Chains A and B, each alone.
Chain A
């Protein structure tokens, strides 16, 4: 696997022809050819101001087809390429318009692509329209929160929780309806500090509406949050304070 991802990138044509020629190479059946073309594309499109060259309709459709390729390396590379494309606003808009979200949500289960997909989704959520589109993924994310596996790396968990926070910021009501507070509570007392921080941030987003505040008080989340205040990390304290601040507005929390 590492041998393939270290394969030298395909030769790049000069000027305007770089991207179209590489896109042609993507259509060829050979797996190595595709991997090399993808690596070359990532290098080309990472240069500033060259990203939007790739935003033609045909190219994006091609990428969508490749997302469902059998080879996990190819899928991982395509996710990296999409991540590079999403650095630009027009790229984000094009990705959302071309309805990339359903295949991406499939790839959330895929171990090699998972991290890149999370990074990509967090980039998509930078703008509010992106967050609104991400809400369609919310049921799947809540299900994922439910059936939690312990073998995931911390970084992926942190990314997942930050993505949840973006979704909650967009529409906390929907999350509250699917019982988000109860599912999120165990994460607050999880081992790693990063996970606790991210969980507290998500909880803060949840406790903005009135219903969320009530639930936070009901589910007795506040002691765990208060424990976070003892940590030395600034951001952890920040997030914990945020949760308590939002929740303290209600009369019940004062009690």
Chain B
């Protein structure tokens, strides 16, 4: 059986009017409700209404009791048709300034979107830390390697120096020893050679001395007679009479002889001069004769003689 839906505008169950004006209908007992609903309505009376009337209702209350409406909800609420009313009023202060216009906020347009970041979405420590760790560890290792290498280098240098010093100390005294040995030997040799030389010289000296002595002896052997002879030769041993004759007598004798001879000479010279003068005069005369002959181109011998030429030279 299909129930016909009544017009909702005519449904008595829908409350009309102000909520505070009319009593609540469902607080009324069903008998009252039925009597109220017996007013003539424009609704068609039909099987529906009949059905409604004949519907079984809650049985009547027992004598002396009354049905009471009870709320069976878990939370009870006070039902009343008089709502609580409180009056409040407000009035702005007449002397207050007009408040500022609130800032205009444009109405929000667009879609709201929300997001939620959970642990491990943005930042994963394990991943991020890896390059940093690599650099740190790498740099530290590099630095430490460099330091260790530096130390090793220094140690190697020191070891090399030590080795060199050791070698030097080993070889130097050897060298010195050999030098010393050489020097000693050389000194010895030179000393011996000097000794030998000195010995030779001495020998030579001795030989020379001997030779000299022999020679001198030989010379000196006939020294005395030769000395005497030479002295005698020089005239250191003289006979005084003879000397006297020589020194005094002979010079005077010789002077006299000399003067005589000089006189002789002088006489001869004078004679020679005279003779020469005469010869010259005779020659000059002969020259004149020849000159005269020469003008006649005479080629005789006496013209071409030197004496003649000389004479001519004299005259010209």
Point out residues on A near B: beta carbons under 8 Å. Answer: 47-49, 87, 126, 204, 208, 210, 213, 242, 245-246, 248-251
B192 touches A (CB below 8 Å): no
Which of B169-177, B195-203, B303-311 is the interface stretch? B169-177
B161 touches A (CB below 8 Å): yes
- Could you tell me which residues of chain B, from 142 to 198, have a CB within 8 Å of some CB in chain A? 143, 146-147, 149-150, 154, 157, 161, 169, 172-173, 176-177, 179-180, 184
- A249, B146: Cβ atoms closer than 8 Å: no
Interchain CA distance A242-B179 in the complex, whole Å: 18
- Count of A-B contacts judged by CB separation below 8 Å: 32
Contacts of B180 in A (CB 8 A): 249-251
- B20 vs chain A, min Cβ distance (A): 82
Contacts of B161 in A (CB 8 A): 126
Q: List 16 A-B contacts (CB under 8 A).
A: A47-B146, A47-B147, A48-B147, A48-B149, A48-B150, A49-B146, A126-B157, A208-B176, A213-B176, A242-B169, A245-B173, A246-B176, A248-B173, A249-B173, A250-B180, A251-B184
Secondary structure type dominating chain A contacts: loop
- B173, A246: Cβ atoms closer than 8 Å: yes
Secondary structure type dominating chain B contacts: helix
In the complex, what residue of chain A is closest to B180 when comparing beta carbons?
A: A249
- Which residue, of B157, B161, B173, has the highest number of chain A Cβ atoms within 10 A? B173
Contacts of A49 in B (CB 8 A): 146
In the complex, what residue of chain B is closest to A209 when comparing beta carbons?
A: B176
Contacts of A242 in B (CB 8 A): 169
In the complex, what residue of chain A is closest to B150 when comparing beta carbons?
A: A48
Contacts of A248 in B (CB 8 A): 173
Contact of A249 among B143, B150, B157, B177 (CB under 8 A): B177
Contacts of B176 in A (CB 8 A): 208, 210, 213, 246, 249
Interchain CA distance A213-B179 in the complex, whole Å: 13
Interchain CA distance A242-B166 in the complex, whole Å: 10
Contact of B172 among A48, A126, A246 (CB under 8 A): A246
Interchain CA distance A208-B184 in the complex, whole Å: 18
Interchain CA distance A22-B21 in the complex, whole Å: 95
Interchain CA distance A47-B150 in the complex, whole Å: 10
Interchain CA distance A250-B181 in the complex, whole Å: 9
Contacts of A208 in B (CB 8 A): 172, 176
- A63 vs chain B, min Cβ distance (A): 22
Interchain CA distance A250-B179 in the complex, whole Å: 10
